[in-house]
Amino acid sequence: METVEDLALHKLPIRNLPRPLYEAPESEVAVRRIMGRVTTYVLKFLSDKYVEQGFEWLLPVVFSKSTDPLWPDPGASIEKRIRCEIYGEVVNTMTSMIVHKMIACSIAFPKLFTYSPNIRIEKRERAYSGVHAYEFTQLDFEVRDASSKDIRSFVEKVICELIRCLRRDMREELLKLGRYEDLAEFEPPFEVYDRAALLKSYGDQWEDKIKLSNRPLWITNIPREFYDFEDFESGFWDNYDLILPGYGEVLSGARREWEYDKLVRKMRRDGVSERDYALLLKLAKEGKLKPTAGAGIGVERLIQWIVGAKHIGEVQPFPKIPGVVYDL
């Protein structure tokens, strides 16, 4: 029987990039099996929870004319965008289903969620960040007529219950991974911090400071893409990131823009092509786009934090590490 030390792949320094399953020795495969059991539990828990709360489960989109521009998000680091031609039309691989969520939530599904594959070809230097992958999955969800506080409150309850249930039902697995004691239970609400205030207090190193927190917390007011709600008078962005203790960002979300004039004004200001979002703008102009709010949870990042993996590639059977392309 393997000891905790034998199974401690997640204790290795990040300089040892994860290997795909077919290259890994049995000791590493044993760790991946345990992580796989935890992943299965987490996915079932989250799916059940969203369905119980009245969310419709949508299938994801892979190719589309419209996808997240990832601009001017200061956290984006994209080396290239994947575009291809099908049936005489140029389409993108999905970077995020934001636009699709906004439209589906406005027209048909007041509460929705999906597991969306995202393709983001990160710059090669992010191979050793430990938290970046060029292909990953987001648990995307959206709610019509919801406020940012509504979304944050819902997420807090789900995360807190998930941790309690993991410690109860996955005790053996967490012990083998050396995470049972470290994966503490929390109670809502989580503290909320304004990014502008953090920047003023800590400068550009504010992200390193907040990672030292021993509780999850929210960061709001992050200048980002055109679809996040921005108050032009105050300059406040009604959006939010969830920061996990000792780890970092695992969720990004916002209240959304839905008014035609504001969307166009922000696109022109930020240099975003209106042609790429023609349908979104048409629906907004016709009054068919409704106020919504939502978020996307990085599934691999959440699992990585839960199991204590050093690198996000450890929780992917076939790692998608920036700058590294394996045979499968």
Q: Considering the domain boundaries, does residue 176 fall inside one? A: yes
47 vs 5: CA distance, rounded Å: 33
Q: Considering the domain boundaries, does residue 325 fall inside one? A: no
pLDDT in tens, 115-163: 999 999 999 999 999 999 999 999 999 999 999 999 999 999 999 999 9
pLDDT at 73: 84
What is the average pLDDT across 4-8?
Answer: 38
Q: Considering the domain boundaries, does residue 213 fall inside one? A: yes
Q: Considering the domain boundaries, does residue 236 fall inside one? A: yes
pLDDT in tens, 14-43: 668 999 999 999 999 999 999 999 999 999
pLDDT in tens, 44-63: 999 999 999 999 999 999 99
Q: Considering the domain boundaries, does residue 160 fall inside one? A: yes
230 vs 192: CA distance, rounded Å: 18
DSSP 229: -
What is the domain range of residue 190? 9-315
What is the average pLDDT across 302-310?
Answer: 97
Q: Considering the domain boundaries, does residue 2 fall inside one? A: no
Q: Considering the domain boundaries, does residue 290 fall inside one? A: yes
DSSP of 135-204, one letter per residue?
EEEEEEEEEET--HHHHHHHHHHHHHHHHHHHHHHSHHHHHHTT-TTTS----SPPEEEEHHHHHHHHGG
pLDDT at 14: 60
Structure tokens at 201: 């207090």
pLDDT over 90, % of the chain: 91
Q: Is the pLDDT of residue 5 over 50?
A: no
- What angle is formed at CA 150 by the lines to CA 55 and CA 157, rounded to 5 degrees? 75
Amino acid occupying residue 211: K
Number of domains in the chain: 1
Q: Considering the domain boundaries, does residue 270 fall inside one? A: yes
Contact 254, 141 (CB under 8 A): no
Count of all residues that appear for the chain in the document: 328
Contact 147, 294 (CB under 8 A): no
This prediction's pTM:
0.94
pLDDT in tens, 262-290: 999 999 999 999 999 999 999 999 999 99
Q: Please, which residues bridge with residue 249 across strands?
A: 243
- Other CB atoms within a 10 A radius of the CB of residue 84 amount to 10
- What is the CATH number for 192? 3.30.930.10
